[in-house]
Chain A
Amino acid sequence: MANVQMPAQNLPAGRGDNAFVAGLRRILRDPFSVAALVIYVLLVLVAIFADQLMTHDPTQIQFRANGRVATNQPVSEAFLLGTTNLGRDIYSQLIAGSRNALMVGVTAAISVAALGTLVGLLSGYFGGRIDAFLMRLADVALAIPFLPFVIVLSGFFRANTWNVVIAVALLLWPNTARVIRSQVLTVKERAYVEAARVTGASDLRILFVHVAPNILPLTFLYGSVAIGWAILTEAAVSFVGFGDPSRISWGFMLQDAFVSQALSRGSWNWFLPPGLCIILVVIAGFFLARGAEEVLFPKLRS
C-alpha cells in the first residue's frame, strides 16, 4: 500500500468548499487520477447492470449440443471467455464478481475510514489518556498478522465475505487514525477553533463542525486505498480455501482456476481476467490516493 506517512501539511484552512472544489479540479488534471475515476465508474456501472451484461447464469452448468457438459471450452461466440472446468461461463462469472468486489470494497472502505477517522478525531482532539489508550490499541492492531487473522475468522466462524470486511475494519484503521490524528493536532491550534472554544461551543460541536471538514479529504484518501486491500484480502482468503462458498467473486474464480489446474491446461482465458480485474480496481485506489496526495501535500508538485 502506498502508505505515505508525510508530516502533517497545512490544508487550506477555513475555506471549506472552495478548497474541496479546487482540489477536485487539480485531481482531474492528473491523468492517473482520471484513469482511476474511470475505472471506478466502470466498476459501478458493470455492477449495477450485471444482470443485463451477463450472457448466462454464472452458477448454472452449461451443456453442449451433444448433451455433454461444456467443460473447458475455449473463447467463442457462445462463451465470451470460455467455460470453467465444471462447465460454467467465465465471462458471466467475471461480471457477477464485480458486484461482490464493489460491495466488499465499499463496505470495507467505509468501515476503515469511519473507524479510523473517529479514532483519529477523538485521539487528536482530546489527547491525554484517551489518546494514549487509543494509540496503544493501534499498536496492538498493527501487530496482529492480517491474513492469518482473516483465515482464523473464516475457518472457525462460517466462511463469509463479511469476515474480510470485519477484519479490514478491525485491523487496518490505525494508519488512517494516525494520520488523521496528526492532522487534528495541527488544526486544533487554529484560530477559529480557539474562537469556537471561547464562545462556549461544546467539544463535540467543535469536533464535528470545525475540525472534521478539514479531515474529510484524508478520510476519502485512505478509504479508497482500503477498497483495494479488501478485494485483495478476499482473493487471498478464497485462494487458501476459506472463501465464502455461496458467492461468486474474482477470488473465488481464481481459486477455482487454481484447484482445477487451469495453468496446466493453458487456460489463460480463465486465469488472467479475474487477476487483471483485481489489479485494475486496486490500482485505481492507489492512483486516486496518489492524486489526492498531490492535492493534500502540494510540496510534491514539480
Chain B
Amino acid sequence: MGFALRRLAHSLFVLWAVVTILFLMFRLMPGNPLAAYINEQLSEDDQRLIMAQFGLNRPLYEQYVIYLWNLLQGNLGMSFFRREPVWDVLKSALPNTLILTITGLVIAYIFGILTGAWLATKRGTLAEAVIVPAALATRAAPEFWIGMILLTIFAFTFGWFPSGGANSAGAAYTSEWDRILSRDYVLHLVLPALTLALYLQGLPLLLMRSTMLEILHDEFITMAKIKGLSPWRITIHHAARNALLPVVTAFALGLGATLGGNVVVETVFSWPGLGRLLVAAVAQSDYPLAQGAFFLISLVLIILNLIVDLVYGWLDPRVSHG
C-alpha cells in the first residue's frame, strides 16, 4: 500500500511540474494573441476589454496563482475564439482520444508480446531474419505516411473502411456508451487504431524477444539439469513473467515520446480527438484551449504511467516491498 501511495505522490509531483512548465511556456510566448483574430470592426476599447476578460494584463505571478487555483477547481479557462469554457470544448474529444490510445496500445502490446516471445524460440531462422527488420521498419517509418497508405488502400481503393471521422454522417445514439460500442464507431476506429498499433508494436516485440532470449538461455541450461520437469512449460511461464518486466518499464519510459496525443493519426483519419484540437488551437494562438488540450494529454499520460508503475509493482514484488 505504501508503494502505491508513494507512486501516487510521485505522479502528483510530476503533474505539478508539468503544469508549471506549461504555464510558463504559454505565458512567455511572443506575439500578439489577438493577431489571428482580426475582426474588422473591433475597436481598441473592445480589444482592451478582451484582454481584461482573459486576465492578460495582470502581472505574471498573479496569473500563475489564478491559473493553479482554477486548475484545482477543474476550471481550464475560457477559449479565446470559441468563447466557451475550455473544458466544454475538450470533453467531447477526450473519450475519442482515450479510446484510440488504449485500443492501439492494447492491440500493439498483445501482438508484440506474443510475437516477441514466439520469435525468441525461432533463433536463427528465416522468420527472425524477416520479422526483426520489419518490426524496426514500422518503427522507422513516419506514422502519417503509413496511415495515408493504409487509408488509400483500404478506404479509397477497396472501400472496406470509411475515409474519416468517428461516425457516419448524422448517426445518432441515445448515449455516449451506445455510440462508442456501436458497430459504426468501431468500423471508424479500425484504421486509426491499426496505424497506431503498427507503430507501437515494434518496441514490445523486439524487447520481449531480447529479454526472452536472455532468460531462455539461462533457464534452459538450468532446467536441463533438473530432470522430470517439462522444460517448456516452466521455462516459458517463469521466463515470460520476468521478461515482461523490462517491457513494462520501457512502455512507461516511451509513453511521452510515442503518444503525443496521437496528433498525426488524428489528422490523417480526421479522428476528433485532443491531438487535432491542440493543432487547431496552436494554429490560432488560442492559448487557453491549447494549454488545456496539452494539459489533458499530459494528464492522460501521467495516469497511464501510474497504472503501469502499479502493474510493475505487482509483477515484481521486490520493487513494491523494497
Contacts and interface: CB of A to CB of B under 8 A. Distances in A.
Interface stretch (A19-27, A49-57, A66-74, A280-288): A280-288
A2 interface: yes
A263 B152 contact: yes
A3 B250 contact: yes
Max chain A Cβ within 10 angstroms of own Cβ: one of B210, B293, B297: B210
The secondary-structure label for the interface of chain A is helix
A142 B253 contact: yes
Contact of A283 (B136, B249, B253, B278): B136
A178 B301 CA distance: 20
Contact of A302 (B124, B250, B294): B124
Interface in A241-287: 241-242, 251, 254, 258, 263-264, 271, 275, 278-280, 282-283, 286-287
A240 B136 contact: no
A116 B178 CA distance: 48
B142 A232 contact: yes
B259 to A, nearest CB: 7
A145 B21 contact: no
Contacts of B148: 258, 263, 271
A148 B261 contact: yes
Max chain A Cβ within 10 angstroms of own Cβ: one of B21, B136, B206: B136
- On chain B, which size bracket covers the interface? 35 or more
Interface in A119-147: 136, 139-147
A198 B33 CA distance: 60
Given A5-B246, A240-B264, A300-B210, A144 B140 contact: no
A286 B30 contact: no
A75 to B, nearest CB: 19
A140 B14 contact: yes
Interface residues of A, number: 56
B263 A151 contact: yes
User: Which 8 A-B residue pairings sit nearest by Cβ, starting from the closest?
Assistant: A147-B260, A155-B282, A282-B140, A156-B29, A283-B140, A140-B17, A275-B145, A145-B260
Given A235-B144, A241-B283, 9 more contacts: A1-B257, A2-B136, A4-B207, A5-B250, A6-B246, A136-B17, A139-B14, A143-B298, A282-B139
Interface of B: 10, 13-15, 17-18, 21, 25-26, 29-31, 123-124, 133, 136-137, 139-145, 148, 152, 156, 202-203, 206-207, 210, 213-214, 217, 246, 249-250, 253-261, 263-264, 267, 275, 278-279, 282-283, 285, 290, 293-294, 297-298, 301-302, 305
